[in-house]
Structure 1
Amino acid sequence: MRARVSEDIRRQIEKDIADGRLVPGDKVDEQYLSKRFSVSRTPAREALFALAADGLIVFRSRKGTEVSGVSPQEAIGMVEVLTALEAEAAGLSSRRMTESDRSSLRNLHLQAETAVRSGDTATYAKYNADFHAAIYAGARNEYLTREITGRLRTRVYRQISLSRRASLSASWLEHAAIVEAIMICDEASARQTMRTHISAGGTLFADMVSSITSHHRADRP
């Protein structure tokens, strides 16, 4: 029972970090978790250890526990790795997807257009997640899928890349190019269009990280 409670806490804090509700430097200690989730300090402490193991929080001497920061260099590295993995998934999908898979991917892409036109970021984010999940499934490589989806800190990158209305249209058009390549089984084009799509938000992400880092430095005495 206690293990389940600590896991529920860990998942919620992980989601808060991925969604940007908790940012680098925010304090997240036992007292905060105990009060927020109405639990004793033991499951709160266990959740903190699990989050630390994932690199999402850090224990600092005399400063307490806080959300881990990411340097601009690390941000760029994260995007580079994610770009390579996503491109590989798209390339494999172009070879391994069935006709039914390809048709489902195209229909999913077309359904997302309504969210783009209305500027509904939340709804488009769900379509975006489903779009990429369909490509992972089509790659028929569970290890590759785990490598992509297991990188918790890159979820922040995905949220930021869709945070502006104008970028929804850009993302959707990039998806269109990916779909076209996969529909005609063009592996080289599928890899390249996905590479372009994932790396497109890299500069924005690195700039955001740099801004947060500078802000926290300025706040320090």
Structure 2
Amino acid sequence: MATTSRVNLSDKIREALEDEIVSGKLYAGCRLDEQELMERFNVSRTPAREALQQLATAGLVDIVPRHGAVVATLSLTEYVAMLEMLTELEGLAARLSARRMPAALRKDLEASIRACEEAAAQDDPVAYERANRWFHETVYDGSLNEVLARQLRLMRLRMRHPQRSLFDRPNRVRNSMVEHRAIVQAILNGDEDGADRAMSMHISSGGNVYVDAVAKGASKKHAVPSA
């Protein structure tokens, strides 16, 4: 019983820190102190340390000898490598969703695209980012492949900063909306090839600005800017 309780505590701490990393409250390079976590969550050292280890395993935190844990930073080269993987996996999720998505999730997909349209009409990149996350999460769930969905969520967590900042760039929200509509149409029509193709193009276009940055400065070391 004690072991189960400890695991639950470490999971709660990890989930809280994940949310703060996603929201930007905890930014790249931010130090995470075990003692502060113990006091904040009113726990012993073991669940606090286990939560940090879980985040490190997921690639969200770096454990630095003699300095403790810090929120991980992605270099542009690492971001581009992950983008190549994300493009393929998101395309697969869309393909499987076109084949398998249940009726209830189809309604959620349509609701998420309406939320995207409302945010785009209000020129609100923050609201659009939330609606965009809902849209992609629905596609993941619609694949009915929990392993794939879990991997995509993890990659999205690690690539959080550049994704959010993209929506502040000129015309990105407008272009994203056009791409979203093509994806939704293909999924709802059961067009597996079309859904895969539309989603892959959507992910690639969103990351092109970072690919260009790497091409221009391949010999230099870059860090992905936080939002």
**CA deviation vs aligned residue, 1:137-171 (integer Å, no higher than 9, x gap):** 33333332233224341344543333557432222
- Answer whether contact 1:93 1:182 (CA < 8 A) is retained: yes
RMSD of aligned Cα (Å): 3.1
Q: Does 1:188 align with 2:193?
A: yes
Q: 8 Å contact 1:87–1:191 — kept in the other structure?
A: yes
Name the structure 1 match of 2:16. 12
Residue 189 to residue 22, structure 1, CA distance change in 2 (3 Å) = same
Q: 2:7 aligns with which of 3, 14, 17?
A: 3
- Mapped to 2, the partners of 1:197 and 1:191 lie a distance apart of 10
Cα distance in structure 2, aligned partners of 1:79 and 1:100: 30
Q: Secondary structure at the match of 2:69?
A: strand
Note the 1:1-221 alignment, pairs <5 A.
1-97=5-101, 102=106, 105-151=109-155, 152-164=157-169, 166-204=171-209, 210-212=222-224
Partners of 2:188 and 2:195 in 1: CA distance? 9
Paired amino acid for 1:67 = V
Q: Which TM-score applies when normalising by structure 1?
A: 0.78
Cα deviations by residue, 1:46-83 (Å, 9 ceiling, x for unpaired): 22222222222222233332222222221111111111
Identify which range, 187-196 or 136-145, moves more after superposition: 136-145
1:50 to 1:99, Cα distance in 2 relative to 1, 3 A = closer
Partners of 1:163 and 1:33 lie apart in 2 by 33
Between 1:99-108 and 1:19-28, the stretch displaced more is: 99-108
CA positional deviation for 1:95: 3.1
Distance across 2 between alignment mates of 1:51 and 1:139: 26
Give 1:87 shift.
0.5
Displacement after TM superposition at 1:195 (Å): 0.7
Q: Which runs of 5+ in 2 are unaligned?
A: 215-220
User: Do the aligned partners of residues 2 and 146 (structure 1) sit closer, same or farther apart at CA in structure 2, a change above 3 Å counting?
Assistant: closer
In the TM superposition, what whole-angstrom CA distance separates every residue of 1:14-42 from its partner, at most 9, and x where no partner exists?
Answer: 22222322233221121332344444433
Matching residue's letter, 2:191: D
SS of the residue corresponding to residue 58 of structure 1 reads strand
Unaligned runs of 5+ in 1: 216-221
For the 8 Å contact 2:20–2:26, the answer to whether it is kept is yes
In the aligned structure 1, how far is the partner of 2:191 from the partner of 2:152? Answer: 22
Partners of 2:106 and 2:51 in 1: how far apart? Answer: 40
* Segment of structure 1 superposing worse, 181-190 or 11-20: 181-190
